[in-house]
Chain A
Amino acid sequence: MSGITEPRGWTKGALTTTSWLVYFFFYAPILVLIIFSFSDSRNASVWGGFTTVWYSDFAADSELTGALWNSVRIAVVATLISVVLGTMSALALERFRFRGQRVFDALLYLPVIIPDVTMAVMLLLFFAQAAKWFGFPKGFGTIALSHIAFCISFVSIVVRARLGGMDDKLEEAAMDLYASRWQAFRHVTLPLIMPGILGGGLLAMTLSLDDVVITQFVTGGGWSTLPVYVFSLIRKGVTPLINAVSVVMLVASMALVALSLLTQRLRGDDAVRQS
C-alpha cells in the first residue's frame, strides 16, 4: 500500500493480536500433531509419555512404505510430464495466435475449477469404459494419467504468468542479434521462465502427493498411494502411527518447498526480480 496508513490507537492492537492469532491457528494443529506422534498411547489424541515406536513401526510396515514409494513414483512421473506439457501450452497461448486458441484456453482452466469429486467420477467412468473396450487395467497407469490431467493446467497457469510478465521485446532483441527462433528460446526465454517452470513443477508435485479422491477412484489391482492408504486407516481406527506417518508427510512437503526456494536463490534472484 502506498502512502502512510499505520493503524492508530486501539485498532493497531486489535489488528496485531488478530494476526498473531491467525498464525497460531495455522501452526498449532501442526505442532500438536508433531508432539502427539511421539506419544506412548493407543489413543492418538492422548499423551502417554515419550516414544519413537510409531516411527519404527512405520518403517517396518511394508504396506505403508509401499504406498509411500508409490506416491513418490507417481508424483515424479506426473510432475515431469505435466511440466513439459504445461510449459508448451503456456508458450503456445502467450506467444502465438492460432485457430481454436480460445477453446484450448478454456479447456485448460476447467480442471482447476472442477471439484475433485466430479473429476474422480469422470475418470472412473472413462477408465471403466476403456477397460471394457481396450482392456486397459486400473493401477499405476491410470493414477498417473489422472494426475497429469489436472496438473497440466496448474503448471500452465504459473508459467503463463511468468511469460506474461516478461518483456516480449527481449525475444525480438535476440533475433535482431542473429539468434534463430530456437536459439532465442533457449538462451533468453527459457532461463527467464525457469522459476515459473520450477514453481509449476513444485505445485504439480504437491497436488499429486496430496490427492485422495481421484486416486481412490481410479486405482485398482492393489495399488495405493500414501494419502489414500492413510485415509482408509483413519476410517478404520486411529493410532499415533498415523500421527507419525503424517509428520513424515509434513516434513517431506516442507523439504520440497525449502529445496525449491534454495534452487531459486542459487540460480540468482536478479532474474526473478527483473521479470
Chain B
Amino acid sequence: MAQADVARVDVEEEVTRAVDAVSIRGVTKRFGSGDSEVVAVDDIDLSIADGEFFAMLGPSGCGKTTTLRMIAGLEFPTAGSLKIFGDEVGTLPPNKRPVNTVFQNYALFPHMTVLDNVSFGLRMQGVDKATAATKAGELIDLVQLGGMEKRKPSQLSGGQQQRVALARALVNQPKVLLLDEPLGALDLKLRQEMQLELKSLQRELGVSFVFVTHDQEEALTMSDRIAVMHHGRLLQVGSAEELYERPINRFVADFIGQTNLVEATVADGDMIVLGNGSKVLAPSDYAAGTQVAMSLRPEAISIGPRGSVPAEHRADSLDGVVSSAVYLGHALDYHVSVDWIDLEVRAPAVGSQGRFQPGDEVSIWWDRSSNWVVAD
C-alpha cells in the first residue's frame, strides 16, 4: 500500500467538492529577519470543508497556532493565498473577517458581565443594545448558562468560562469557528465532557470548526479530519482512521497513538529485513536499501506461550521474553524483549491467553495487514 501519496490524494479530492470553508494555498509565515529568522509555517496547502470538524494537531512550535491565527487575521501570511468560502482574506484585519475565535485562556473581558461579553461582537457590528441582548441571551441558554448573565468572569468556573467564550464567538454566526486549545485548562473529566458537547454542538450548528490541539487523543475523538503538522510543515491530512492505520511517516506513526517502531531495511517491494536479520513480509514502495521502520500497534500484536504461534502467522512472528507485565484493569500491558528490541504488547484482560509474568518465554505474532512501513 503506497503511503507517500496519502496526503496528496486528499488535496486532489477537495478540488472537485463544493466551495471550501477555508482554503489555504502555499501559505508561509516568517518571523524575524536575517540570522534570527524563524519559519513558523512552511508553504502549506490545506482545505477545510463546510460543516467539518477539523483539527490541527502537532507538538508545540509546529505552526498550528500560527496557522489558526492567520485564518483569524491576528497574523498576516508572509506569502500565499487564504480564502474563506472562496473570498480571499489574506490582507484583511481580524475585525473584517467572518470568523471568530475561542482563545486558549478564553480571554473573557473581566470588567464586563457574561451578557456584555457575549453581546460584544454584535454591539461592535452596530446591532442595537436590545436586539444584541436578546440574541446573546439565546446563545447563553444554548450553552446552558441561563441565569448567569449578570455574573462577571471571575465568578465563574473554568468550564463555565469556556462556555461563555463559545457563546461569545457563536452569537456572531461566524462562517468558521476557530478554537485555540480551548480544553487545555480543564481537568480530565470536564475535558471529556466538553469534547462530546463541542462535537454535538458542531453537528447541530453545521458550522465548520477548526480546532488546534497538541493532544492527539482529543483530536482523534472529536474530529472529522485531522492535519498533522511538524516544524511548520504539513505532514498528513486525513480521518482519524487514516492517520492511525496508515501514517505517512515515522513522526505521524509515533505521534498518533502508541506504536512500536522496529528498525529495518527494505529488501524489495515485499520484504524488509529486521535488525536481527529476520525477514518479514511487509509491502512498501520504498527503494531497496531504504532505512525504514515497521510500525506495529501494541493492540495488534497477539501474545502466547513460546511456540504457540498459529500456522498462518508463522511468517509474521517473533520469539521473546516478557520483561514487564502491568495490569491496567481493562487490559494487560506487556513489554517483550526480542533479541535487540523491546516491544509493547497490549492484550485484553479477559481472554484465553492467560497472564504472563516477567521472565516467561513467549511468542508474539500479528496479522500481516496490521504492519505498516514508514520512513522519515
CB atoms of A192 and B168 under 8 A apart: no
CB atoms of B154 and A176 under 8 A apart: no
CB distance from A265 to the nearest CB of B (A): 15
CB atoms of B120 and A192 under 8 A apart: no
B-chain residues with CB within 8 Å of residue A187 when the two chains form the complex: 109, 120
State which of B92-100, B192-200, B265-273, B335-343 sits at the interface with chain A.
B92-100
CB distance from B110 to the nearest CB of A (A): 4
CB distance from A148 to the nearest CB of B (A): 30
A-chain residues with CB within 8 Å of residue B169 when the two chains form the complex: 176-177
Q: Whole-angstrom distance between the alpha carbons of A274 and B120 in the complex? A: 19
Residues of B308-332 at the interface with A, using a CB-CB cut-off of 8 Å, are: none
CB distance from B19 to the nearest CB of A (A): 23
CB atoms of B105 and A167 under 8 A apart: yes
Q: Which of A173, A183, A268, A270 has the most CB of B within 10 A?
A: A173
B-chain residues with CB within 8 Å of residue A170 when the two chains form the complex: 107, 109
From B105, B109, B121, A178 is in contact (CB under 8 Å) with: B121
Question: Does A107 make an interface contact (CB < 8 A)?
Answer: no
Q: Whole-angstrom distance between the alpha carbons of A83 and B325 in the complex? A: 69
CB atoms of A172 and B152 under 8 A apart: no
Known: A178-B95, A270-B111, A271-B110. A172 touches B74 (CB 8 A): yes
Question: Does B101 make an interface contact (CB < 8 A)?
Answer: yes
A-chain residues with CB within 8 Å of residue B99 when the two chains form the complex: 176
Q: Which residue of A lies closest to B121 (CB)?
A: A177
B-chain residues with CB within 8 Å of residue A270 when the two chains form the complex: 110-111, 152, 154-155
Question: Does A175 make an interface contact (CB < 8 A)?
Answer: yes
In this complex, the interface size class of chain A, counting residues with CB under 8 Å from chain B, is 20 to 34
B-chain residues with CB within 8 Å of residue A180 when the two chains form the complex: 95
Question: Does B238 make an interface contact (CB < 8 A)?
Answer: no
Q: Whole-angstrom distance between the alpha carbons of A178 and B103 in the complex? A: 15
A-chain residues with CB within 8 Å of residue B154 when the two chains form the complex: 270, 273-274
Residues of A220-234 at the interface with B, using a CB-CB cut-off of 8 Å, are: none
From B93, B104, B153, B172, A175 is in contact (CB under 8 Å) with: B93
Interface 1/0 per residue, A145-172 and B, CB below 8 Å: 0000000000000000000000101101
Interface 1/0 per residue, B93-129 and A, CB below 8 Å: 1110001110111011111000000001100110000
Q: Whole-angstrom distance between the alpha carbons of A68 and B355 in the complex? A: 93
CB atoms of A167 and B107 under 8 A apart: yes
CB atoms of B110 and A274 under 8 A apart: yes
Interface 1/0 per residue, B115-149 and A, CB below 8 Å: 00000110011000000000000000000000000
CB atoms of B94 and A175 under 8 A apart: yes
From A176, A179, A192, A271, B72 is in contact (CB under 8 Å) with: A176
A-chain residues with CB within 8 Å of residue B120 when the two chains form the complex: 174, 177, 179, 187
A-chain residues with CB within 8 Å of residue B172 when the two chains form the complex: 177-178
Q: Whole-angstrom distance between the alpha carbons of A172 and B74 in the complex? A: 7
Question: Does A52 make an interface contact (CB < 8 A)?
Answer: no
Question: Does A191 make an interface contact (CB < 8 A)?
Answer: yes
Interface 1/0 per residue, A247-275 and B, CB below 8 Å: 00000000000000000000010110111
B-chain residues with CB within 8 Å of residue A174 when the two chains form the complex: 109, 120, 124
Known: A178-B95, A274-B153, A274-B154. A173 touches B101 (CB 8 A): yes
Known: A176-B94, A273-B154. A169 touches B125 (CB 8 A): no
From A179, A192, A273, B95 is in contact (CB under 8 Å) with: A179
B-chain residues with CB within 8 Å of residue A176 when the two chains form the complex: 72-74, 94-95, 99-101, 169
CB atoms of B124 and A268 under 8 A apart: no
Question: Does A188 make an interface contact (CB < 8 A)?
Answer: yes
Q: Which residue of B lies closest to A172 (CB)?
A: B74
CB atoms of B110 and A175 under 8 A apart: no
Q: Whole-angstrom distance between the alpha carbons of A191 and B109 in the complex? A: 10
Known: A270-B154, A273-B154. A175 touches B107 (CB 8 A): no
A-chain residues with CB within 8 Å of residue B121 when the two chains form the complex: 177-178
Interface 1/0 per residue, B187-226 and A, CB below 8 Å: 0000000000000000000000000000000000000000
CB atoms of A188 and B109 under 8 A apart: yes
CB atoms of B124 and A178 under 8 A apart: yes
CB distance from B139 to the nearest CB of A (A): 13
Q: Whole-angstrom distance between the alpha carbons of A175 and B92 in the complex? A: 12
Interface 1/0 per residue, B215-245 and A, CB below 8 Å: 0000000000000000000000000000000
Q: Whole-angstrom distance between the alpha carbons of A187 and B155 in the complex? A: 21
Interface 1/0 per residue, B54-74 and A, CB below 8 Å: 000000000000000000111
Q: Which residue of B lies closest to A191 (CB)?
A: B111
B-chain residues with CB within 8 Å of residue A173 when the two chains form the complex: 101, 103, 107-109
8 examples of A-B residue contacts, CB within 8 angstroms: A167-B107, A176-B100, A177-B95, A177-B121, A180-B95, A270-B154, A271-B110, A275-B110
Given contacts A172-B103, A175-B74, A178-B121, 19 further A-B contacts (CB under 8 A): A169-B105, A170-B109, A172-B107, A173-B101, A173-B103, A173-B109, A175-B73, A175-B95, A176-B73, A176-B101, A177-B95, A177-B120, A177-B124, A179-B124, A180-B95, A187-B120, A270-B111, A273-B154, A274-B154
